[in-house]
């Protein structure tokens, strides 16, 4: 409360300062022309879509509002700039400079005149995903920047990781308005700097917003995780092992104890979970428990002990895998090798579809690898970070894993990083692509790097 009172005492002084600044800029002293890269960057820090006033014929206000609404609803750090092809926006360094000035990790989609390209921080989307999506929209809608922008965003939102920036608290669409707009930005900036305590309030509001987002994502994961825990509990009961029985030995009792401990650990971890990343502990415990149970079952049956392998890719509830088999995702994509249980190996050998784990999505039940990045923490707990990108490449879930060899930590998208990022992920500039009629170069990135 003391901080709030200090801020309130400063309001009259700050109002005078802001008014003077507005008058100075409006009369042309230090005024900037409408548009420009600084204006675009400032607008994107406040909302997901910026349309330069000279490019309003490319993307109308209504369409820009609709696009911004979709991005904000998806809660993903996807930035869109629609700019005129002028000297103010040098093609060779545009993407890199825009990302530097905005300073927030995310996916950046830019229409420059009638051309389009995109770049992304690997924590949010892999370079391959960005290149493939950008190339696809350039080929499907050449010369139509509005269609390329909206088409790219529609495809990128399910694949992007991270959260929307906390700074997107105001208007969702930025449209350049000239020097007066600059005056407002300067005045507001001074207000924050002088207020001091305002930063604390903003930080707390951002923290509450992030906690609400984490709870929503955790609620989406909870039914799947609870099903896993219940299924494992049923397996424990079904095996019918009696530690005090005449045939039980110390090795069997040790396996059974490990399985019980894993079950208790999984339940306790889910009870404590506050964010999606906490689910990894649950999956990891269940994977350990299922291997212990498989080992116990082998001892009871007198068969060979199972090899320590990852769980069945198609459904971790099937238990540890027994072999690796080639598999191609439904609908196309590159063939890859995945670990499978005996039942799924037999189905694939017979030309049948595997018994894939289905989860709820807006499109109805889908295999978990086609449900998007929400299920990344759950999958990483089962499979670890090293193997996931390889077996999930080309899928919606795989698009959130590229560049990290695993699931990006929560908050890696939409966080402020300033100029501390790998500029190579934003291409070498529009350079070669903008002059040849083929888009930004088929290699993806503004320079076809």
Residue 413 has pLDDT above 70, yes or no: no
Strand partners, 340: 323
- pLDDT at residue number 58: 93
pLDDT at 415 over 70: no
Q: Which residue has the higher pLDDT, 7 or 116?
A: 116
- 334-384 residue pLDDT tens: 788 899 999 999 999 999 999 999 998 877 898 988 887 778 889 888 987
For the chain, percent of residues with pLDDT exceeding 90: 43
3-state class (DSSP) for residue 102: helix
> How would residue 332 be classed by pLDDT, with cut points 50, 70 and 90?
low
pLDDT-wise least confident of 69-78, 185-194, 301-310, 391-400: 185-194
* Higher-pLDDT residue of 82, 129: 82
pLDDT exceeds 70 at position 190: no
Is the pLDDT reported for residue 84 higher than 80?
Answer: yes
Among residues 414, 413, 419, 415, which one has the least CA distance to residue 401? Answer: 413
Q: What is the pLDDT of residues 198-208, one digit of tens each?
A: 545 545 666 67
Give the torsion through C-alpha atoms of 356, 358, 361, 365, to 10 deg.
100
Once rounded to an integer, what is the mean pLDDT over residues 102-128?
A: 90
Q: How far apart are CA 319 and CA 195, in angstroms?
A: 57
Q: How confident is the model at residue 402 (pLDDT cuts 50, 70, 90)?
A: very low
Q: For residues 376 and 425, which has the higher predicted lDDT (pLDDT)? A: 376
Distances from the Cα of 449 to the Cα of 94, 126, 256, 428, 440, angstroms: 14, 15, 55, 6, 10
Task: Give how far the C-alpha of residue 61 lies from the chain's centroid of Cα atoms, to the nearest Å.
Answer: 27
Q: What pLDDT does residue 212 have? A: 80
Kindly report the average pLDDT of the chain as a whole number.
77
pLDDT exceeds cutoff 90 at 7: no
Average pLDDT over residues 414-433: 48
Listed in sequence order, the residues at least 6 apart from 284 whose beta carbon sits closer than 8 Å to its beta carbon are 381, 382
Note the pLDDT of residue 193.
Answer: 53
Spatial separation of the C-alpha atoms in residues 416 and 74, rounded to whole Å: 19
Q: Is the pLDDT of residue 80 over 90?
A: yes
pLDDT at 446: 36
Whole-structure pTM value: 0.51
pLDDT of the residue at 312: 95
Res 25: pLDDT: 40
Residue 406 gets the label, from left (phi > 0), alpha (psi -120 to 50) or beta, of: left
């Amino acid at each position: 409360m003391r901080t709030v009172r200090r801020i309130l005492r400063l309001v009259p002084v700050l109002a005078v300062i802001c008014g003077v600044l507005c008058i100075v800029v409006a009369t042309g002293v230090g005024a900037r022309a409408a548009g420009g890269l600084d204006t675009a960057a400032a607008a994107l820090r406040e909302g997901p879509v910026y349309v330069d006033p000279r490019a309003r014929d490319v993307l109308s206000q209504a369409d820009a509002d609709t696009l911004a609404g979709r991005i904000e609803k998806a809660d993903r750090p996807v930035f869109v700039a629609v700019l005129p092809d002028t000297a103010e926006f040098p093609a060779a360094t545009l993407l890199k400079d825009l990302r530097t000035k905005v300073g927030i990790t995310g996916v950046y989609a830019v229409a420059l005149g009638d051309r389009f390209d995109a770049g992304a921080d690997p924590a949010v989307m892999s370079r391959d995903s960005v290149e493939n999506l950008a190339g696809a929209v350039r080929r499907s809608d050449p010369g139509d920047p509005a269609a390329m922008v909206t088409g790219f965003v529609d495809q990128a939102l399910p694949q992007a990781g991270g959260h929307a920036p906390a700074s997107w608290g105001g208007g969702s669409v930025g449209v350049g308005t000239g020097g007066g707009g600059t005056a407002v930005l300067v005045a507001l900036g001074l207000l924050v700097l002088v207020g001091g305590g305002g930063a604390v309030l903003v930080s707390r509001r951002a923290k509450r917003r992030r906690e609400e987002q984490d709870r929503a994502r955790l609620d989406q994961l909870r039914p799947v995780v609870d099903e896993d825990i219940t299924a494992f509990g049923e397996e424990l009961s079904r095996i019918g092992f009696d530690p005090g029985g005449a045939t039980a030995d110390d090795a069997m009792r040790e396996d059974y104890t490990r399985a019980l401990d894993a079950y208790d650990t999984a339940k306790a971890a889910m009870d404590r979970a506050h964010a999606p990343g906490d689910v990894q502990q649950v999956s990891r415990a269940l994977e350990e428990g299922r291997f212990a149970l498989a080992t116990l079952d082998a001892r009871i049956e007198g068969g060979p002990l199972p090899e320590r392998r990852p769980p069945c890719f198609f459904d971790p509830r099937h238990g540890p895998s027994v072999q690796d088999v080639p598999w191609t995702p439904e609908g196309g994509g590159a063939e890859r090798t995945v670990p499978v249980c005996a039942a799924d190996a037999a189905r694939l050998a017979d030309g049948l579809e595997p018994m894939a784990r289905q989860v709820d999505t807006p499109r109805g039940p889908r295999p978990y690898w086609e449900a998007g990045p929400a299920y990344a923490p759950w999958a990483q707990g089962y499979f670890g970070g090293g193997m996931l990108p390889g077996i999930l490449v080309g899928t919606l879930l795989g698009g959130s894993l590229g560049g990290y060899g695993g699931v990006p930590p929560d908050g890696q998208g939409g966080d402020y990083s300033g100029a501390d990022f790998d500029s190579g992920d934003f291409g070498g500039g529009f350079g070669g692509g903008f002059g040849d009629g083929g888009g930004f170069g088929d290699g993806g990135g503004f320079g076809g790097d």
